[in-house]
């Protein structure tokens, strides 16, 4: 089921995963989630698949990797 979230609810969505999480597994699990940034909507699974690390120990670590890929789209 597709669902849309906002940048403000990204952390909570990432907390739904089991950690440590492998990048491909996290991307696959969140492939049906889009993040609405107001002026654009991006697929969360695709954003995760484009991050650098192969795995993440915590939701915070994964969120930081996503923010590195799209720093201008994330709220301060």
Pick from 57, 49, 64: nearest CA to 10: 64
Cα separation, 52 vs 71, whole angstroms: 15
Residue 75: pLDDT band with limits 50, 70, 90: low
Number of domains in the chain: 1
Per-residue tokens: 70: 């799209």
Percent of the chain whose pLDDT exceeds 70:
91
pTM over 0.75: yes
Query: What is the domain range of residue 57?
Result: 3-69
The per-residue DSSP string of 9-62 comes to: GHHHHHTTS-SSEEHHHHHHHTTTEEEE-SS-EEEHHHHHHTSS-SEESSHHHH
Decide if 58 is inside a domain. Answer: yes
Decide if 74 is inside a domain. Answer: no
| Pair 37, 24: CB distance under 8 Å | no
pLDDT tens, 8-31? Answer: 999 999 999 999 999 999 999 999
């Amino acid at each position: 089921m597709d669902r849309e979230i906002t940048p403000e609810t990204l952390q909570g969505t990432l907390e739904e995963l089991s950690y440590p999480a492998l990048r491909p597994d996290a991307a696959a699990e969140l492939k049906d989630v889009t993040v609405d940034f107001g002026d654009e909507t991006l697929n969360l699974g695709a954003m995760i698949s484009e991050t650098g690390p192969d795995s993440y120990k915590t939701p915070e670590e994964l969120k930081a990797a996503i923010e590195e890929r799209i720093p201008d789209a994330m709220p301060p």
